Structure 1
Amino acid sequence: MRLRIDTSGTRFIVTRAAEPRLNFETGSPKIDTATGLPQYSVQVLALDDTGGEVLNVTVAGDPNVAVTQPVSVSSLVAIPWAQGDRSGVAFRADAITGATTGAPSGEQGSRTQK
C-alpha cells in the first residue's frame, strides 16, 4: 500500500547528499523497475508549521542536489513495511529537484532533463 502525502505548505532542505541504494546481498546498485535507472536515497528535512522531520527519500536517478539546498519533492508517498519483528515506513518520490526561487514548496519546481 502506498500512501500519498500532501506536501503543500512543506519546505524541504537536503541534509545529506544523494547516495546510491545498494543490494544488501550483492552490493550492486538497486535498479528502479519502472525506469531502469539506479535508485538513490536523499535525506531531507521536511519543515512545516508544526516543526520538522528528517526523511530518507528514494528516487530513480541521481537528483544532483547538494547539502543545505532547498528542494521540491514531487509525488511523495509513504510505504509501510514489516519484516519479521521489524517495521517502519519507507518514502519514495517521483523526483527531487532544486527549488525554484520564490516558488512554494512541495509539488512545485521543474524536472531537469538529461
Structure 2
Amino acid sequence: MRLKIDTSGSQFIVTKAPEPRMHFDSGSPKLDPTTGLQLYAVQVLALDDAGGEVITVTVVGDPKVVVTQPVTLTGLVAIPWAQGDRSGVAFRADTLTTTTTTPPVPASASDGVAGGRAPK
C-alpha cells in the first residue's frame, strides 16, 4: 500500500548527495520498471510547523542536486514494509526539483554574524 503525503506545508533541504540505488545481492543498479531509468536515493530534511526529520527518498533518474539545496517533492508516498522481524517505511517521490525559496535562517545566525558568534 502506498500512502500519499501532503507536502504543501513542508520544506525540504538536501542533506546528502544523491546515490544510485543498488540491488543488495547482485550489486547491479536498480531500475524503474516503468521507465527503465536508474533509481536514486536522496536524503532530505523535511521541515514543517511541528519540526524536522531526515528521510531518504527514492526518485527516478539522477536529480542533480547538492547538499543544502532546497527542493520540492511531488507525488511523495510512504510505503510501509516488513521483512521477517524488521519493518519500516520507504519514501518515494514522482519528482524532486530544485526550488528558488531559501530555507529559514536559524535564530542564532539571524543576528548578521556568521555562525551566530560575535566577532573577535
Q: What is the TM-score with the length of structure 2 in the denominator?
A: 0.83
Report the aligned-residue RMSD: 1.0
Match of 1:99 in 2: 99
Aligned to 1:52: 52
Instruction: Name the aligned partner's letter for residue 44 of structure 2.
Output: V
Does 1:66 pair with 2:66? yes
Q: Distance in 2 between matches of 1:57 and 1:78?
A: 9
**Structure 1 CA distance, aligned partners of 2:33 and 2:97?**
21
Q: Name stretches of at least 5 consecutive residues in structure 1 with no aligned partner.
A: 103-114
Question: How many residues in Structure 1 have an aligned counterpart in Structure 2?
Answer: 102
Contact 2:32 2:60 in 1 (8 A): yes
Give the TM-score normalised by structure 1: 0.87
The reply to whether residue 33 of structure 1 matches residue 33 of structure 2 is yes
Displacement after TM superposition at 1:28 (Å): 0.8
For residue 42 of structure 1, what is the aligned residue in structure 2? 42
1:56: Cα distance to partner? Answer: 0.2
CA distance in 2: counterparts of 1:77 and 1:24, whole angstroms: 23
Q: What per-residue deviation string (whole Å, max 9, x for no partner) do you get for residues 10-34 of structure 1?
A: 0000000000000101101000101
Aligned pairs for 1:72-83 (under 5 A) are 72-83=72-83
Instruction: Give the structure with the larger helix fraction.
Output: 2
The structure that has the greater radius of gyration is: 2
CA deviation digits over 1:71-92, x for unaligned, max 9? 0001100000000000000000
Structure 2 unmatched ranges of 5 or more: 103-120
SS of equivalent residue, structure 1 residue 65 = coil
Which position in structure 2 is the counterpart of 1:2?
Answer: 2
